[in-house]
């Protein structure tokens, strides 16, 4: 059995307007990756490509990288040797995470179908059938953010992550308005996306002590682990790393600095499930818990996060699926239902979902 062909198809799904500290957008762009074997199996993956301001990768670069630099290296390989294939890719391409994510997910979907097992089995099995989910609300006026919070709650989601900005005073106003509106029984998180500095973070968090936040996520740049440690020692809630965590080695450095209580694993940053699972394993050994984070994944990558979260031994808080509240179309045949704040993990072979070809054809970009 060998990999015979790799196909890439760029597409974009319209979403409700959303903004974070990096940019604003109204489309979730991605590249569909299909890997074919010589005996008729097909694996589906998806490469995130919607925020070049953060990742430095675009629809065009992801597509070209996979076609010109990855596909020639893996065609002819046995798809059952995922470790070997990904090692070959890493040896030829450094730092490109989104393109690698698309291939990684397609390989896992493919191998699951070949072996007739769900992807979570390839990750060591599952600890849970239902994944508690959280959703973000983007930067806007306090009034609109309160409205968006109630829309998220109306979907059955019980945990909200509030995006922060460089305007600390307005952020405090936004968060206090949301807390007052939703009451004390809803869990609220705060994520400034590294837009703050150490001193302003500590000052702002003191102003928000009465808001009973569940956690603070990455308020300062990812490289500043010393600053993260100082913040962690001066606030009264857990600190979660995001921009600081890309690799298992990052997890070790974060632990050495005491720079976070938990890690937000985003499969677009970890090059997919293979490295994402390694990060989670290292975190467990270091005594840190993890969640699966959101990059507003439009389809197969959203489902891959469910498999990753299901495989985590320590998963104390909701993983993030902002896409459930933002996507205007579903390119999957799978109906994703929120039940008591949770989403069920698919248990069919591979990722366990199929592409809705008609809906996908409405979303794909034609060159």
The set of residues, in sequence order, having a beta carbon less than 8 Å from that of 185 and lying 6+ positions away, is none
Q: Which residues sit opposite 137 in a β-bridge?
A: 162
Q: Any alpha helices (H) in the chain, and if so which ranges? A: 52-55, 59-64, 71-74, 82-92, 97-115, 119-122, 142-154, 168-182, 198-207, 225-232, 248-257, 273-286, 300-311, 323-326, 357-363
Q: What does the pLDDT read at residue 56?
A: 87
Q: Is 190 helix (H, G, I), strand (E, B) or coil?
A: strand
Q: What does the pLDDT read at residue 222?
A: 97
Active-site entry in 34, 158, 161, 266: 266
Q: Catalytic site residue 266? A: yes
For each of the domains in the chain, give its residue range(s) and CATH number, in order of start.
3-116+357-363 (3.30.390.10), 121-344 (3.20.20.120)
Ramachandran quadrant class, 118 (left: phi over 0; alpha: psi -120 to 50; beta: rest): beta
pLDDT in tens, 297-355: 999 999 999 999 999 999 999 999 999 999 999 999 998 999 999 999 999 999 999 99
Return d(Cα 260, Cα 31) in angstroms, integer.
Answer: 32
The answer to whether 280 and 312 are in contact (CB under 8 A) is yes
Q: What does the pLDDT read at residue 367?
A: 60
The set of residues, in sequence order, having a beta carbon less than 8 Å from that of 155 and lying 6+ positions away, is 135, 324, 325, 338
The answer to whether 29 and 301 are in contact (CB under 8 A) is no
In angstroms, what is the C-alpha Rg of the chain?
Answer: 20
Active-site entry in 34, 113, 158, 163: 163
Nearest partner of 98 among 29, 7, 37, judged by Cα: 29
pLDDT in tens, the chain (367 residues): 999 999 999 999 999 999 998 888 899 999 999 999 999 999 999 999 877 888 989 999 999 999 999 999 999 999 999 999 999 999 999 989 999 999 999 999 999 999 999 999 999 999 999 999 999 999 999 999 999 999 999 999 999 999 999 999 999 999 999 999 999 999 999 999 999 999 999 999 999 999 999 999 999 999 999 999 999 999 999 999 999 999 999 999 999 999 999 999 999 999 999 999 999 999 999 999 999 999 999 999 999 999 999 999 999 999 999 999 999 999 999 989 999 999 999 999 999 999 999 999 999 997 6
Return d(Cα 193, Cα 182) in angstroms, integer.
Answer: 23
Q: Catalytic site residue 158? A: no
Nearest partner of 33 among 94, 107, 134, judged by Cα: 107
Side-chain-facing half-sphere of 42: CA atoms under 13 Å:
10
* Residues, the chain: 367
Return d(Cα 324, Cα 305) in angstroms, integer.
Answer: 13
The answer to whether 163 and 20 are in contact (CB under 8 A) is yes
The answer to whether 34 and 4 are in contact (CB under 8 A) is no
Return d(Cα 166, Cα 319) in angstroms, integer.
Answer: 25
b/e map 308-322, b = 16+ CB within 10 Å: bbbbbeebebbbbbb
Return d(Cα 347, Cα 330) in angstroms, integer.
Answer: 19
């Amino acid at each position: 059995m060998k990999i015979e062909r790799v196909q890439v198809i760029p597409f974009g799904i319209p979403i409700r307007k959303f903004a974070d500290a990096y940019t604003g957008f109204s489309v979730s762009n991605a590249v569909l990756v299909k890997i074919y074997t010589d005996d008729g199996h097909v694996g589906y993956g998806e490469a995130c490509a919607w925020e070049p301001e953060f990742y430095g990768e675009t629809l065009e670069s992801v597509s070209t990288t996979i076609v010109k630099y990855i596909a020639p290296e893996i065609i002819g390989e046995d798809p059952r040797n995922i470790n070997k294939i990904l090692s070959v890719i890493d040896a030829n391409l450094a730092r490109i995470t989104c393109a690698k994510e698309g291939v990684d997910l397609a390989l896992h979907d493919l191998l699951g179908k070949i072996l007739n097992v769900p992807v979570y089995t390839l990750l060591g099995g599952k600890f849970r059938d239902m994944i508690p989910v959280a959703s973000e609300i983007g930067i806007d006026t306090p009034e609109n953010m309160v409205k968006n919070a109630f829309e998220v709650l109306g979907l059955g989601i019980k945990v909200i992550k509030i995006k922060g900005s460089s305007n600390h005073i307005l952020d405090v106003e936004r968060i206090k308005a949301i807390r007052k509106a939703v009451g004390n029984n809803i869990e609220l998180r705060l994520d400034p996306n590294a837009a703050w500095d150490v001193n302003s973070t500590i000052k702002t968090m003191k102003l928000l002590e009465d808001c009973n936040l569940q956690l603070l996520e990455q308020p300062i740049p990812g490289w500043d682990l010393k600053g993260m440690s100082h913040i962690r020692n001066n606030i009264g809630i857990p600190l979660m790393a995001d921009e600081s965590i890309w690799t298992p080695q990052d997890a070790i450095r974060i632990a050495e600095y005491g720079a976070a209580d938990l890690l937000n694993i985003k499969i677009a940053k970890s090059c997919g499930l293979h490295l994402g699972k390694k990060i989670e394993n290292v975190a467990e050994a270091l005594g840190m818990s993890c969640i699966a984070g959101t990059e507003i994944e439009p389809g197969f990558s959203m489902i891959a996060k469910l498999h990753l979260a299901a495989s985590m031994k320590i998963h104390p808080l909701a993983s993030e699926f902002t896409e459930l509240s933002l996507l205007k179309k579903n390119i999957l045949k799978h109906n994703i239902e929120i039940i008591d704040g949770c989403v069920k993990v698919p248990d069919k072979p591979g990722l366990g979902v199929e592409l809705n070809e008609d809906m996908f054809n409405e979303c794909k970009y034609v060159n």
